[in-house]
A and B are shown apart, each in its own frame.
Chain A
Amino acid sequence: MSDPLSKSATATEIASAVMSGKVKATAVIDATLKRIAESEPTVNAFTDVVAERARKRAAEIDAGAFHGPLMGVPFAVKNLFDIEGLPTRAGSKINVDGPKARRDGALVRKLEAAGAILVGGLNMGEYAYDFTGENAHYGPSRNPRDSSRMTGGSSGGSGAAVASGEVPLALGSDTNGSIRVPSSLCGLFGLKPTYGRLSRAGSFPFVDAFDHLGPLARSVEDLALSFDAMQGWDPDDPVCTDRPADPTLPRLIEGIDGLRIAIAGDYFSRGGEPEAFEAVATVAKALGATRTVVLPEAAVARAAAYVITAIEGAELHLPRLRTRPQDFDPDTRERFMAGALLPGSWYVKAQRFRRRYRANVLKVFDQADVVLAPATPCTAPKLGQVMMKLDGIDLPVRANLGLFTQPISFIGLPVVVAPLQRPGGLPIGVQLIAKPYNEQAALRVAAFLEKQGIASAPPA
């Protein structure tokens, strides 16, 4: 059990200490704000710290105003989540001139209703069109495992804040891999739930067809605890499911008994650096998984995800591209502009293909409950790095860090990233992929790996 005031403390440990009266929520927040002030010059994770709000809420908790399973737990959110009284930056300069949010985003409200305390908004790639964590307006978020390297993105600040120990829990968004890529590169547990499982109300959109929200944390228990607190139908998000909440925390103790685990072959077994496949092999061995399955047409799925993203994202930003092109991050501006010029027939074909791919991939889950795949094709690239070599081929970093995540979010499957710390090297993650609404299976596998010491996420 960690000291609840230390950077090693998990959300579960903090909540337990606050609930039992061992520590005051105000002391937790004071320690958190001090850590943030000390770490920020190195990691650049935060764009907004809401110290006064956090201290006020902590005092209310100490006075007995709120109870809940996340009592006193500090958390922060990617700055595309609405925070009452602040403009929702979404990584941009342009949005700062827009209206201030009139209330918090739905998931912020849900976590605070469970007793958690928001401490701020986090850096991100502009408008979430990013896999690097770099940002021309606010500077790059820096990887706490090696500050000369990328966090991955676009939830880069979320990765940096949790891996540095500033906060035990952060929320991110994942359209093509933006929770899973930073989880892998920063060495964290991350959960991208089933599409529509968690409400996106009160968050700035990117690609409606693929936008998901979810947590990053340093323990599987914290992922499950926060995920359970955020579940539930929300009429403010038209794709939010009306299925009843399915608590996952009580199921972690079940271990992996009865789960059929397989390894994704074909597309997911090539095109990356050896460490990506070594990580999958290590996890497979620990789980006793030997069978390989094929997610058919994954390369086409990646292409289709790219096309839908480029065209939907460009359409969303077209008015701003016309009127304020100079205020965009140059690295996103020209990709958005290119997307605005692509043929509409590509988009429709991608959407039609999506149905075929979904049907065929769901058949794979008749034979397996959890499928293993690399999360990223490599460990964290250097900040500013434009090209990288994958499997001997020179490729752009920006477009290719999400090579293995895009075909999964394309059809909304739930995924947990299990991080492997590599002594003397940088961490890398493995995707634990389940069928829709079966988050509990992926979380149980992650919990097993954590218990075995295979996956871990200590603060840097």
Chain B
Amino acid sequence: MADEKPDIARLVDEAAKAIGLPIAPGSRANVILNVERSLMIARPLLEVELDDELTPGPVFRP
């Protein structure tokens, strides 16, 4: 992970444009907040190291 703080507002604006998702001005702040929150919650996953051999199961069987 880069040390520099990501510009989430810009990410939201550009990514939404790229996938054709209109975000109303009244929703934008909350979408940004939720992406920031996702980044925080996902952090333990993003920091973990996985072996190259570890593949997802195409059909998950518990």
Chain A residues within CB distance 8 Å of chain B: 194-196, 209, 239, 297, 299-300, 302-304, 306-307, 310, 318, 321-322, 325-326, 330, 333-335, 337-342, 346, 348-356, 358, 396, 399, 411-413, 436
**How many angstroms between the C-alpha atoms of A62 and B54 in the bound complex?**
58
Judging by beta carbons under 8 Å apart, are A304 and B45 in contact?
yes
Measured in the bound complex, the distance between the Cα atoms of B38 and A321 in whole Å is 19
- What would be 15 A-B contacts, judged by CB atoms less than 8 Å apart? A303-B42, A307-B42, A318-B19, A321-B21, A338-B12, A340-B19, A340-B21, A341-B15, A341-B31, A346-B42, A349-B50, A351-B57, A396-B37, A411-B62, A436-B62
Q: Distance (Å) between the CB of B31 and the closest chain A CB?
A: 5
Count of chain B residues near A, Cβ 8 A: 34
Counted as pairs of residues, one from A and one from B, with CB atoms less than 8 Å apart, the total is 113
Which residue of B20, B31, B43 is within 8 Å of A338 (Cβ)? B31
Interface of A is mostly: helix
The CA of A352 and the CA of B54, in the complex, are separated in Å by: 6
- A334 contacts B27, C-beta separation under 8 Å: yes
Given A337-B34, A341-B11, decide whether A195 and B62 contact each other with a Cβ distance below 8 A.
yes
Residues of B close to A349: CB separation below 8 A? 45-46, 50
| Chain B positions near chain A (C-beta within 8 angstroms) | 11-12, 15-16, 19-24, 27, 30-31, 33-35, 37-38, 41-46, 48, 50, 54-57, 59-62
Q: Which residues of B contact A302 (CB under 8 A)?
A: 41, 44
Quick check: B21 and A322 within 8 Å, CB to CB? yes
Other-chain residue from B12, B41, B50 in contact with A353 (beta carbon distance below 8 A): B50
Please tell me if the beta carbons of B27 and A355 are within 8 angstroms of each other in the complex: no
Separation in Å of the A370 CB from the closest CB of chain B?
16
Q: Report the bound CA distance from A349 to B54 in whole Å.
A: 10
By the criterion CB–CB under 8 Å, are B45 and A310 in contact?
Answer: no
Known: A195-B62, A342-B35. 19 other contacts (CB 8 A): A303-B41, A303-B42, A304-B45, A306-B42, A322-B22, A330-B27, A333-B27, A337-B21, A338-B35, A340-B19, A346-B42, A350-B45, A352-B56, A353-B48, A353-B50, A355-B55, A355-B57, A399-B37, A411-B62
B37 neighbours in A (Cβ, 8 Å): 338, 396, 399
